Structure 1
């Protein structure tokens, strides 16, 4: 399989969009109410540790993806079930992101259109982009990510103009104690979005200058974390902690309150644009990881046919995850973080790093 390359800057754009992705539209840390922004800060620092684990694995095996390094760390036969689990994981999370995207559109501007059509159209676009390879995806990141950030800044400026905007909504700080904050940090906000950066293990072999990997990876966590903290503060200042906690898409609800001179309204369309851009990065990375993983597992020379099959599975799975949006959210909040994210984002990578470290020590002695 031809090894394409992306620059460290393109990696930053792609991962930055991936980390913020759909998270910027959702109410992260809502269980902590007015302290949601503190939750994100603490989760961000924990996310830096996880990113250090992921990048150190890449330092030990610089030319290998997660799928390729697993047999070298835990052995050929033991690695097979773990590889299959990770491929299924990448596919499943891509499907969840697609469902998030379709539900947002269905609740705002495309309320008459079946979500199957929305998801199918989006995945056709995804296949078209990813068939060009990681280089094409990286160049798309260079174009889309600046637009994404520009849209976020515009929305923040507009939110300040909302009449009910007040920073007093953030008080009292830690008014409910520290326990709700810790409860929200782990496993919820740590695993989404920061723990999802495990996908970097599928991208790092394609970076042309390996010496910049750690710097770029840690910068992504800090940058996206800061962006999400400011975004949470802005939403809380407009909506207040009670509405922020109850709303499915608080940023969309905040943008709907913007009205300049009773003339300029409906800025929620800008939020939809952001969501499209964010999900592009999210689904793109997860789909790429799953397709490359399958290709490497079966030693295929190309991923084009695999991409078509994976995208078809993702489209169908996104519709089957839950009968309705409430059921879909319930599984994502109650079960997925603790039973899926924690083992695959935290426990397994840390164990792999420990084993890899011991192997390297033994080989050098």
Structure 2
């Protein structure tokens, strides 16, 4: 068997001969995700992913694929922040189940690391996932520097990362919330929280929007986005600072729309009119799943119970705008006790772990 590893060409549009390899790469990624989670809900399809590759003004992307003849059998993807002084590159590697432990993943990782070095990145971060059933694998456990969770050392992703010199820097809990039939409950909880607002969040108000933020909030929303890179717990992982402005906010909105995703945003507005915090729900097209992305309350505004208020407000909006959606999924650092407590109170339950690895 001869395996050919080469960069994936990014097409201008899908459904053309020039797009065939990119589309095969996306399908292979979905197959690998399915081998871990038992479903493809977490996978981007080609129309969703292509805009992320085409707009690389703020975040660079590069993909490599391994080919056995015309069959795509492995993939590696890099992402890196383009801001001045950025040092890290994020790398994700995967190989089809029937061809693992034959050196394909190692070659993909080598190619990805080599490209990262060529663009001046010295710190490599890697990612692997462990579904709930996989957490019960017998044998030694690996623990991150912070938090109380652990994963089996024998998990295929963990074993691969450890074998290549990566250390476990952080664990994220992947949690899910089934929302079917709970709209009245969320509305009641939100009403209760709003009734308490004068005691805990006097002067703050909620503002909601779909897909595109109000023009007058863009600048302070950009500040909140930049804080998402540095404020949440980082464990033992180095995260580069991200430079955000109004144009970058708009660019992200445009990419999501181009990929067919609807974004529901709930923001807390401070007495001075600036964004004190925000939370996002991302709704991919043709899916029953919803993804809880960013949630942040900026430091000066913490202690007013805004996080729960914003999340409840967005869950109510979700029930009103997309009642067919069944489950919300979210990822949180295992040591992020405050955010995890909010999620548990809402009914989120553990569905698996995502491990973040780093090698310098």
TM-score exceeds 0.5: no
Q: Determine which structure has the larger helix proportion and give its number.
A: 1
Structure of greater relative contact order (alpha carbons < 8 Å, 6+ residues apart): 1
Q: Determine which structure has the larger strand proportion and give its number.
A: 2
TM norm structure 2: 0.30
